[in-house]
Structures are given as structure tokens and as C-alpha cells.
Amino acid sequence: MATTVLGPIELEVITGTIRSAEVEIEAAVERAARSPMIRDQHDYRVGLYDARGRKLTGRSYGSLIEPVFEFFGDDIHPGDVFFWNDPYNSAGSCGHVPDLCTTVPIFHGDDRLLGFAQVFGHHDDVGGCVPGSLPVQVHDQWGEGLVVPPIKLYDRGVLNETAFRILERNSRLPEHLRGDIDSEIGACRLGARRLTELADRYGVDVLEGGFDAIIENCARTVRDELLPKIADGVYTFEDYVECDGFTRKLYAMRLTMTKTADRILLDFTGTDPEAEGPINWAIDYCEGRFVRKWMGPVLRCLADSPERAAEIDINEGILDVIDVVFPPKGTLVTPHFGRPTGLRFFILIRALGIFAGALAKATGGRMPADHETIRIWGLHSRDTEGKLSLFREVLGGGGPGRPWADGSDVVHIVPNSRNLPAEFSEQRYPVLVESLELRSDSAGAGEFRGGFGYQKKIRSLRSSTLLSNADRSELATYGVNGGKAGWPYGIEVARGDGSTESLPGMIDGVPIAPDDLVTVWTTGGGGWGDPLRRDPERVRYDVAVGLVTEEAARREYGVVVTRVQGKVEIDEVATSELRDALRSGRGAVPMFDRGAYFESVKAGGGLVRPEGWSDPDDVHAVVDPATPAG
């Protein structure tokens, strides 16, 4: 279609092609990658960028292109493949060393740079002191695995075989690593072709005009549809990681959000000092472009419906709406070079949570509660020939209660992430899955309760070593607008001698004997809204199917049930009386509930806030919020 100017038709085709190219690149990664962490758990991200490194795709966050410019300047040519996993030298765009990032420049003809295609994925193993490359007790990033600064893995089409060999030699699972990298490069090249085809069809100028419009449209959507739902003002919120692998205490991430008519300023000043262990997150590079794009999608919760929320892509345009301010070097989000970062996913999820919490305060409570969905547990062992078996699962947790629905059960924030079927695990690994269930009472109570977490029991069939990389094993997912906190994570081992050992959330190197039974419980989602307003029929159903105990139905919801010939029925009178009693016996309902452990730490003086920083939780629920979103 011959054309020289960008019109609505060209823009629609360009937008649609880029959106479907993102899906196409994802499909290509997933089909050919080798690491279960990428193929099943879907822990990888893809992106298309323009020649200035601006992100065009928006289904998910991505890494950055800036490291290419910083390390290679104009030395960018057809056939190049850039590669890195260095959390610090990648401008903070790779959070931890198992994330290997592959970037392919896209050219129209021989010399016109159109943009970049990028894939990064969480690989099974890149060395370091623990199989899986996520050690809990590690003092610096050199103990976490091989660190690769930005390099050219291919230079004008020629493979840097030496680099590849070093990479492979440093992995306990080299065949996985090789397969993953091959798949990522192939997928990038596929994505690159989509942009060159568009340039062929419409010309480079029209295409680049389309890039500008795609980015502007993101900013406009956020400004026009989402920002008007947030009251202008200054709001603070904070949340915590409970342990850094060495010391158990509250590690606070703090946020001051300033909302004006058309912008949001996120200021992390007040965040606690950097940790000795691997819970640091190096995001204070490149004007915080990575973290601004990472946090932007939370705003979608304010869309008119969940369906509309899913349509809104967050690309580089969000930088026009969200600004960021970092504290000086030396905090959890501004760590000094070389601090360990392997388990930075706790604080990365906290970042979303504190933004959502500040937005809850700015919207009269009309935001989802909290959920915690990334944690890894596993068993590794070697067979008689010394071959490594690495069984790791990313088990989801209960989703958040929100003004329009209960939390979904056992969800994962990573899209399309899948759990491992028992029938697969038992074929592949020396384990027996005794049961896989939802964990009763784990969901935070609320008018819309949280989703339930897992209760999984697995028997190890040979001597192995257990690892658990989990936060929120004592702190809970917070409830919003009168909703209650969910239950935290737990892991324990029942030994052959009849003893039971409860383990901390963050641990590795635990010896497991044949026939030991491991039980893992994952977090329930926080509840939304006053539980005493929950429809008693919904409480009754949860009791009838065993998801909520009768005791919890009384205690949390004020619902009294009876059993008539095996059927669970509501005792209307007793329920009405109990609800009245509970209502009159409590004071003002707080906006947030962080659970019993938090209250006990606070009471014990374990929560020390910076000078001048007041309690961000000191706000009440909005009893009858206006028509909720959705």
C-alpha cells in the first residue's frame, strides 16, 4: 500500500503487527527454550524497541537497550547479537544473574537502524555456590554465578565461540543454557523481521511516525483513563522484606507518591539501607527507566473493567507520566556495586505493592489488596552417575481481593506461568506428590476475600538437598479497605523418625532423607473490604466445600453455620447477632491489615522509621466506597 504519511490505517496495522509480534516472539522462545524455568514457569520477557531504545511493546516489562549504547556507541551492525546478565553494568535492567539478556539490532537495508528485539529469560543455572544460582547466604554478586557485562555474542554474524564456551562451562546444566540462548536469538530475529516488513510496506518514515504514535497513545491512555481516578495529593506507603538470608528483621521499602493532574512522582527516599544478603535491587540507573516501566502496569487496576485493564499496554510512553526519585547510594534500591541481588524479586514485588497501597489511599480504597506470587522451592540431588537433578517449582499464591471480585486462587504474577503436573514431576524427578490442594483459611477475609494459597505435600524418594527462596513466611499479604491479611508461606519436613522440622522461608542446603515428607504452604491473598459485609451465602459455600473452617467463618466473617443432615446452612439469626456484636466491639476499621506477625514486631519495637516519616497505615477504611471499579 503506497503511502508517505502516517494515517489511521497505517497506524492500526503497525500497532497490531507490533502487538502480535510480541506474542509471536514469546511463542518462539517458549517452544525452543530448554530451562523449565522458561518453558513452564514462563519466566522470560520479550520486547521490541525503536532505534533510540524506546520500548514499543507493552504486554510486559522488559530490560533496557541503553547498555548497548553505553558499551558500543555506534558499533552496532547487522548480524550483531548483544548479550549480558550483569545487574549493575546493565543499568539495572537485569535484576539478577540467572536472567540472561539477548538483544538483536534491526536494520532496514544494510545501514538504517530501525530498532531492537530483545529477550531475557531466567535460566536454570549460571554457576555460583548453589544449584539454580539463587544462593540465600551470599555476600556479593560474584558468589551468585557467572557475571557477563554487555558483550557481542555475535559480531556481524560471527559467533564469539570463546564466550559461548565460557558460559557453558560455568553452568551445571550447560545443555539447557545453550538451548535457551539459541531459542532467544532465534526469537529475536523473528521479531526483527516484523519491523523490517513494516518498513518495506510503509517506508521507514511512516513506520517511525507510527512508533511515536504508539508511545504517545500509551501516555494518553494512562492520563485520560486512569489518572482522573486518583485524587491529587501526596501519599506515603511502605512494605517490608522480612529476612536477607543472614538477619531476620524488617527491611523497609518506602514510597512517597505525589499525584498531580497529569503526572505521578515516585520517591523512594526513606528506604532502608542496603542488605548484606541478596535482597538488593539496583534500579537507580538511566533515570530509573526500568523501574518506571516496571511499576506503571499497576495503574491498570483503575481501568473501568478487568477486561479493559488487560487491553492497556504500558510501553515507553509511561515515562511521560511517571517520574522517579531515588535516595543516595547505599539503600535496598540503590545498592553499591557488587552487592548481591539474586533474590531481588521480593523487593521487586514489594515495589508494586507499595505503589498499589499508595494508590489505595488516593482512591478511597478502590485498589486490589496485596498478593505474593514469586517464591521458589526445590530439591536437588545427584544420581549414582553424578548427574544433577534439579527439581524447582515457582508456586503461586492467592490473588488479591478487589472491589469487583474475590482473589483468584494460586495465581502467578508472571503471565502464563504453569505449575508442574504431578504426573510430570513423578516421571522426571525422584519425588512422589502426595497431595496438591488449596490451603483452607489461607485467604485474607474480606467483603471480597483473597484467593487461596497452596498446600502441597511431596515425598522425596532419595537423599537430596532442599532449598526455599521465599519471603512473606512471617509477614503477610496486606488486606485493603477493611480486608484482612492473608496467611504467610510455610515449609516443613516430616522426618522418618516421626519428628517434624519447620524451616524458615529463606534457606538452602537442608539435607532430606529418602521418604522424608515436605509440606509447602503458600500465601493467601489479602482481602478487600469489610468481611462483615460479605454475602453470608458465599461464606456458607466456602465452609461447605472445606475452604473456610466454621471457626473462621464465625471469627472473620461473623457467619454462623449449622449442619442439617450433612448440609451446611446459615443460621440467619445467630449470624445477624454475631455480626452486630463484632461490629460494635471494634473501633474504626483500618484501611490496611498486615497480620499478626507485623503487629508483634511493631509492638516489640522492631519497626524503626526514619525521622519525620509518619505511620503510612494511619488511615481508615472507606465504609461504603462509591461504585467500585469494574
Ranges within 367-426 binding other proteins (CB under 8 A)? 368, 371, 373, 395-396, 399-400, 402, 404-405, 408-419, 421-424, 426
Among 150, 297, 342, 490, binds other proteins (CB under 8 A): 297
DSSP 170: T
**Secondary structure string (H, E, C) spanning 36-84:** HHHHCCCCEEEEEEECCCCECCCCCCCCCCHHHHHHHCCCCCCCCEEEE
Binding to other proteins (CB under 8 A) within 70-129 occurs at none
Q: Is the dihedral of CA 568, 573, 576, 578 positive or negative?
A: negative
Distance in angstroms (rounded) separating the CA atoms of residues 42 and 119: 12
Identity of the residue, 186 or 338, whose beta carbon is nearer to other proteins in the bound complex: 186
Footprint (CB under 8 A) of other proteins, residues 514-553: 541, 544-545, 547
One-letter amino acid of 305: S
Coil vs helix vs strand at 425: helix
Give the Cα separation of 475 and 602 in Å (integer): 12
Q: Which is nearer to other proteins, 228 or 511 (CB)?
A: 228
Binder among 143, 338, 590, 630 for other proteins (CB under 8 A): 630
Instruction: State how far the Cα of 371 lies from the Cα of 472, in Å rounded to an integer.
Output: 10
9 lines the binding site for other proteins (CB under 8 A): yes
Site for other proteins in 154-213 (CB under 8 A): 175-176, 179, 182-183, 186, 190, 193, 197, 201
Q: Which listed range, 2-10, 114-122, 142-150, 489-497, lies at the site for other proteins (CB under 8 A)?
A: 2-10
CB of 544 to other proteins, least distance (A): 6
Segment near other proteins (CB under 8 A), from 130-138, 164-172, 429-437, 488-496? 429-437
Per CB under 8 A, which region of 46-54, 74-82, 297-305, 617-625 contacts other proteins? 297-305
Q: Are 462 and 514 in contact (CB under 8 A)?
A: yes
Region from 110-118, 138-146, 233-241, 432-440 binding other proteins, contact rule CB under 8 A: 432-440
Q: How far apart are CA 18 and CA 30, in angstroms?
A: 18
Please report where in the chains the cell 534500591 appears, as a residue: 333
Q: In this complex, which beta carbon is closest to other proteins, that of residue 238 or of residue 409? A: 409
Residue 220 engages other proteins in binding (rule: CB under 8 A): yes
Considering only 64, 264, 298, 507, the residue that binds other proteins (CB under 8 A) is 298
DSSP string across 262-320 = S-EEEE-TTPPBPPSSS------SGGGHHHHHHHGGGGGGGSSSHHHHHH----GGGGG
Nearer to other proteins, 413 or 582 (CB): 413
Residue found under cell 523497609: 252
* Residues 337, 320, 104: CA angle, nearest 5 degrees: 60
Q: Is residue 3 involved in binding other proteins (CB under 8 A)?
A: yes
- Binding residues for other proteins restricted to 226-265, rule: CB under 8 A: none
Q: Is 40 in the site for other proteins (CB under 8 A)?
A: yes
Stretch of residues binding other proteins (CB under 8 A), selected from 99-107, 310-318, 324-332, 477-485 = 310-318
Q: How far is CA 178 from the centre of its chain?
A: 26
Is residue 13 close enough to count as binding other proteins by CB under 8 A? yes
Could you give the CA distance from residue 97 to residue 91 in angstroms, rounded to a whole number? Answer: 13
Q: Between residues 304 and 492, which has the closer beta carbon with respect to other proteins? A: 304
Which of 94, 138, 333, 438 touches other proteins by CB under 8 A? 438
| Radius of gyration from C-alpha coordinates of the chain | 25
Rounded least distance, CB 549 to other proteins, Å: 15
